[in-house]
Amino acid sequence: MRTKRGTPEINGAPMADIAFLLLIFFLVTTTIANDKGLSLLLPPKPDEENKSEIKIKEHNMFKILINSADRLLVEGEPLDDPRKIRQMVTDHVMNYGKNPKMSDSPKDAVISFKADRGTTYELYIKVLNNVQGAYYDMYAARAGVTNKQWRDIASDLGDPENKRIYTIARKDFPMAISIAEPSKIGGS
């Protein structure tokens, strides 16, 4: 007969250390994937059929130009701070014919955005961010939600409720941002 021993106990204190080690390993080796950014739908490939010129009235266009030295030209005037574009776009789109130099209605308004081949990507993103932001603000106001909520709604159109709100807010209110091919003058 064996002698009766006490139940063998394993010391559990170093377990925390092992867990810490693993935790630190995962903290260091992994990066939280960021799949966020500015979404954009490129225009369709130009084909022979719909090559017909679409006439847009001069005053409906809001022109943004950037040259190779990262200087902005907005509606014919030089501009330093790209953040100002946000308010200018809103004024232009929500004009409803009050100012003859601005758009007739949101439906007609077009934002024309043209960069140079030598423009840095950073400035391009800043400008695009402000133009899209202005539109998101306007859509959010129409849908009665905040800007952040609107962006979440627009990102998840699988939900029928989201789709409903989205359709109502976007009715006769297109986000007409026309990004022209960069000019080659003063290229990189």
Q: CB of residue 188 vs another protein: minimum separation in angstroms? A: 4
Please, what is the minimum distance in Å from the beta carbon of residue 135 to another protein? 9
Residues 137/90, Cβ–Cβ less than 8 Å: yes
Q: Are 68 and 118 a contacting pair, CB within 8 Å?
A: yes
Q: What tokens were used for 89? A: 């776009």
- According to DSSP, residue 45 is labeled P
Least separation in angstroms between residue 150's CB and another protein is 10
Q: Which residues bind another protein (CB under 8 A)?
A: 12-13, 15-16, 19-20, 22-23, 26-27, 29-45, 115-122, 124-126, 128-129, 132-133, 136, 147, 151-152, 154-156, 158, 181-182, 187-188
Query: Nearer Cβ to another protein, position 103 or 132?
Result: 132
Interatomic CA distance for residues 166 and 106, integer angstroms = 16
Cβ proximity to another protein, 1 vs 26, nearer residue: 26
Q: How far is the CB of 11 from another protein (least distance, A)?
A: 11
> Based on CB atoms, which residue is closest to another protein, 105 or 120?
120
Q: How far is the CB of 111 from another protein (least distance, A)?
A: 14
- Cα separation, 18 vs 9, in Å, equals 18
Task: Compare residues 27 and 54 and give the one whose CB is closer to another protein.
Answer: 27
Say which DSSP state 119 is in. S
Using CA atoms, how far apart are residues 169 and 51, in angstroms rounded to an integer? 30
State the Cα–Cα distance between residues 88 and 101, nearest whole angstrom: 12
The residue (of 62 and 124) whose beta carbon lies closer to another protein is 124
Helix (H) or strand (E) holding 135, with range, is helix 121-143
